[in-house]
């Protein structure tokens, strides 16, 4: 029997946490349910404790900080992570986890966007943001993940214990997806139902503020995980602009034998030089990244050997 841990990060979810815990008790009675309370100002922790969950307080604010502590603290074979807002049915979360239990995925994703998300969710900007993030990541990393930012996921021990959590807030889902793609973990997806929050329960996600953080995370991880592509793109743009600025100066020199626009010439040379420097940075950092990947693979082998 595999040891299953249900991970529920929470902040002010007193209206829904009881339903979430009881739902998982009915579907997976043998699972350990962990509720990590992130400085809630209501009775979330008290209700969770009364319902039999293992309650832990995480004082550092932000979902990323909660996930970091969960992954460090909890020992299990299969991890199921859902939000505490009762938007993901436990039976669907268990179906997601089955891919991990059967060895078909290191990280399994509950795909909301292919089912009921766009009809249940009442925040139109969230819908646009989900589509934008999905398109960006799939384009950059040449993947086809249907739901990048879902809060319903399942992991095996290998993924959890080797994932370096860097994000502090809601951008953690994006970071997990990109990390899995870059490190070539086996990713599975299961279409799940999504139900909007019940009346009185409010989302803590700010569309524009947290959306900006997600886009910033994508940019930073693109730079870190694909430096040659990132700096190569910058190099190409600088080089093209530099050439466009240089051509009129060069044509004028051919006709008259004089350089009439020295400032333009200096700018064009500066741009093309910057392009070469950017390209050189891309090659250097790409080599560093490959060495980092080699060390990561060695660490993964040691982790698997230790688990056996």
Range of the domain at 247: 227-307
pLDDT band at 43, cuts 50/70/90?
very high
The domain boundary, picked from 179, 198, 225, lies at 225
Query: Are residue 9 and residue 59 in the same domain, yes or no?
Result: yes
Query: Are residue 60 and residue 207 in the same domain, yes or no?
Result: yes
Domain count, the chain: 2
Task: Show the CA angle centred on residue 60, arms to residues 58 and 61, nearest 5°.
Answer: 100
The domain boundary, picked from 192, 225, 258, lies at 225
Query: Are residue 111 and residue 159 in the same domain, yes or no?
Result: yes
pLDDT band at 169, cuts 50/70/90?
confident
The domain boundary, picked from 180, 203, 225, lies at 225
199 or 241: whose pLDDT is higher?
Answer: 241
Q: Is 297 helix (H, G, I), strand (E, B) or coil?
A: helix
pLDDT higher than threshold 90 for residue 2: no
Query: Are residue 196 and residue 295 in the same domain, yes or no?
Result: no
Query: Are residue 199 and residue 233 in the same domain, yes or no?
Result: no
307 or 53: whose pLDDT is higher?
Answer: 53
What are the distances in angstroms from CA 220 to CA 88, 111, 171, 223?
30, 25, 12, 5
For position 100, what pLDDT does the model report?
96
CATH number reported for the structural domain that contains residue 189 in this entry: 3.90.550.10
Mean pLDDT of 254-283: 91
Query: Are residue 179 and residue 87 in the same domain, yes or no?
Result: yes
What are the distances in angstroms from CA 95 to CA 41, 92, 99, 128, 269?
33, 5, 7, 27, 59
Query: Are residue 145 and residue 31 in the same domain, yes or no?
Result: yes
Query: Are residue 208 and residue 239 in the same domain, yes or no?
Result: no
Supply the pTM of this predicted model.
Answer: 0.84
DSSP bridge partners of 34: 7, 54
Q: In what order do the strands lie in the sheet with 78-81?
A: 54-57, 32-37, 4-10, 78-81, 153-156, 107-111, 187-191
Query: Are residue 99 and residue 136 in the same domain, yes or no?
Result: yes
φ/ψ (deg, to 5) at 36: -100, 110
Query: Are residue 181 and residue 289 in the same domain, yes or no?
Result: no
Query: Are residue 36 and residue 169 in the same domain, yes or no?
Result: yes
Query: Are residue 118 and residue 90 in the same domain, yes or no?
Result: yes
Please name the residue ranges forming H helices in the chain.
Answer: 17-27, 44-50, 63-73, 90-101, 117-120, 124-140, 157-162, 172-182, 207-225, 227-256, 262-307
φ/ψ (deg, to 5) at 191: -70, 130
Residue pair 3/32 in contact (Cβ under 8 Å)? The answer is yes
């Amino acid at each position: 029997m595999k040891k299953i841990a249900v991970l529920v990060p929470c902040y002010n979810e007193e209206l829904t946490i009881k339903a979430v815990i009881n739902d998982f008790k009915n579907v997976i009675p043998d699972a350990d349910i962990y509720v990590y309370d992130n400085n809630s100002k209501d009775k979330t922790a008290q209700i969770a404790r009364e319902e039999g969950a293992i309650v832990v307080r995480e004082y550092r604010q932000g979902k990323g900080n909660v996930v970091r502590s969960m992954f460090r603290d909890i020992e299990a074979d299969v991890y199921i992570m859902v939000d505490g807002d009762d938007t993901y049915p436990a039976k669907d979360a268990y179906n997601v986890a089955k891919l991990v239990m059967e060895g078909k995925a290191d990280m399994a994703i509950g795909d909301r966007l292919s089912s009921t998300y766009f009809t249940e969710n009442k925040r139109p900007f969230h819908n646009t943001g989900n589509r934008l993030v999905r398109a960006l990541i799939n384009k950059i990393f040449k993947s086809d993940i249907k739901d990048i930012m879902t809060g319903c996921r399942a992991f095996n021990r290998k993924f959890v214990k080797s994932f370096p959590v860097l994000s502090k807030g809601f951008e953690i889902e994006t970071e997990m997806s990109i990390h899995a793609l870059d490190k070539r973990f086996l990713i599975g997806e299961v279409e799940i139902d999504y139900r909007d929050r019940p009346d009185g329960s409010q989302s803590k996600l700010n569309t524009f503020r947290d959306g900006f953080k997600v886009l910033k995370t994508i940019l930073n991880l693109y730079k870190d995980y694909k430096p040659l592509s990132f700096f190569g793109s910058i190099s190409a743009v600088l080089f093209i602009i530099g050439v466009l600025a240089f051509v009129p100066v060069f044509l004028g020199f051919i006709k008259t034998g004089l350089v009439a626009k020295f400032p333009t010439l200096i700018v064009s040379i500066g741009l093309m030089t910057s392009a070469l420097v950017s390209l050189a940075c891309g090659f250097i950092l790409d080599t560093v990244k490959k060495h980092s990947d080699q060390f990561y693979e060695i660490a993964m082998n040691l982790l698997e050997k230790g688990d056996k």
